[in-house]
Amino acid sequence: VELAESGGGSVQAGGSLTLTCEASEYPWDHNCMGWWRQAPGTERELVATLESDGGTLYGTSVKGRFTISSPSAAGTKILAVSLRMERLKPEDTAMYYCVADNQCWTKSSSYDYWGQGTQVTVSA
């Protein structure tokens, strides 16, 4: 499974960005895709995940500001996800990684597939 991310960049606080991630293929009928992030000197933090049954999970710090979505119909394999980030804050600055697996996990180390990462920088 190969994951290709796009959409990172620099924005001022209060602005918006959209990240996208596309997967090459999946060996499973049910799967999960999502985003984790890591700022220098910190641990990886959950941003948002989406399961093929439509279930979502958001990190506490982004809930209400970020939205994860997919063009795939609920109940089908997720082959791409978007992360719409609004009302961005300087503390959202991090490398954002797309993840995928046959189910969503609460620990980053449980994910088998990772993208290369895309940098998001929010200036005050």
CA count, 13 A, side-chain hemisphere, 112: 9
- DSSP letter at 88 equals -
Q: What is the pLDDT of residue 76?
A: 84
Sheet harboring 66-69: ordered strands across?
3-6, 17-23, 80-85, 66-69
Mean pLDDT of 79-102: 96
Own/partner contacts of 53-56, CB < 8 Å, gap of 24 or more, are: 55/104
Q: What is the pLDDT of residue 1?
A: 84
Nearest C-alpha neighbor of 69 from the set 80, 53, 58: 80
pLDDT in tens, 31-88: 999 999 999 999 999 999 999 999 999 999 999 999 999 988 778 888 999 999 999 9
